[in-house]
Homo-oligomer: A and B are copies of this chain.
Amino acid sequence: MMRIAIIGTGNVAWQFANAFREKHNVEFIYGRNAKKAEQLAQSVEAAFSTSFNQIPRDLDLYLIAISDDQIESVAGQIPEVSGIVAHTSGSVDLTVIPHEKSGVFYPLQTLSKEKVVDWKKVPLCVESQHAESLKALTELGSDLSKNVQQIDSQQRRAIHLAAVFACNFSNHMMANAQELLRESELDFSILKPLIEETVEKALEVGPDNAQTGPAIRGDEKTLEKHQNLLENHARLLEIYNLVSQSIQDTRHE
């Protein structure tokens, strides 16, 4: 059982604070905003404060779950403590935490306060230069998830960037489709079965093996038809041409 402080009161802080409770003691919440800190503290029956000085020094883990660009400054204000000081970010280096037992505990999932998380499936990426801390973070991760991986800062950066392509950019491609359908007074839902099948296949055989469509087939006639349809959509035409070219460039020979 670990004694834990959560630094932060956002979505990730809420989700972790509640998830840890099952097997561990969440004893303290730090937050800039007193009201938010109190709310989270009440929900997990912990103490709280808006002052770094009030943070108890003898806990096992201080988990910094705040926005990426605040982590370095906040970590610098956490006093010397006996336990591990770890952040939860995908894009911030381990080295921004000045404490000896520094670590990372990064959940590779999009989290909101409202939606219940199936922690079993969430990849938890842990990192520490301190062997004992790495072991402790790995065990803590295993209490939540079946998928705990030791990932260094360089790999974590790659994962974060890859997630932008695979998720943020995919979503934007769906938004572009929605825009095109709207203009023809069609509902986006007509694409639902095709999207589901596409993603299922990509996850099953790998997206490199699952590519279909006119670009990979080299179907110039259809590409030209589509370009004509997008004549008055400069933004979409530019994306269409660049992504089609990229698909053709990466085609298996």
Contact = CB atoms under 8 A, between A and B. Distances in A.
A178 interface: yes
A252 B166 CA distance: 22
A81 interface: no
Nearest to A167: B198
Interface stretch (A27-35, A36-44, A169-177): A169-177
| Secondary structure class of chain A's binding surface, majority of residues | helix
A237 to B, nearest CB: 11
Contact of A181 (B162, B176, B243): B162
B178 A158 contact: no
Contacts of A171: 198, 202, 207, 210-213
A212 B247 contact: no
Contacts of A225: 91, 157
A192 to B, nearest CB: 6
Interface in A107-149: 108-110, 121-123, 147, 149
Interface string A166-204: 111111111111111101111011111111111101110
Contact of A167 (B149, B194, B226): B194
Q: Give the bracket for the number of chain A residues in contact with chain B.
A: 35 or more
Interface string A207-229: 11011111110010110011001
Nearest to A235: B246
Contact of A162 (B161, B191, B193, B215): B191
A18 interface: no
A151 B190 CA distance: 11
Contacts of A162: 176-178, 180-181, 186, 191
A53 interface: no
Contact of A169 (B69, B183, B243): B243
B175 A208 contact: yes
A220 to B, nearest CB: 10
B167 A191 contact: yes
Interface of A: 68-69, 91, 108-110, 121-123, 147, 149, 151, 154-155, 157-159, 161-181, 183-186, 188-199, 201-203, 206-208, 210-216, 219, 221-222, 225-226, 229-230, 235-236, 238-240, 242-243, 246-247, 249-250
7 contacts: A154-B184, A157-B225, A162-B191, A165-B176, A166-B198, A171-B211, A192-B203
The 4 closest A-B pairs by CB, nearest first: A168-B213, A166-B177, A174-B207, A162-B177
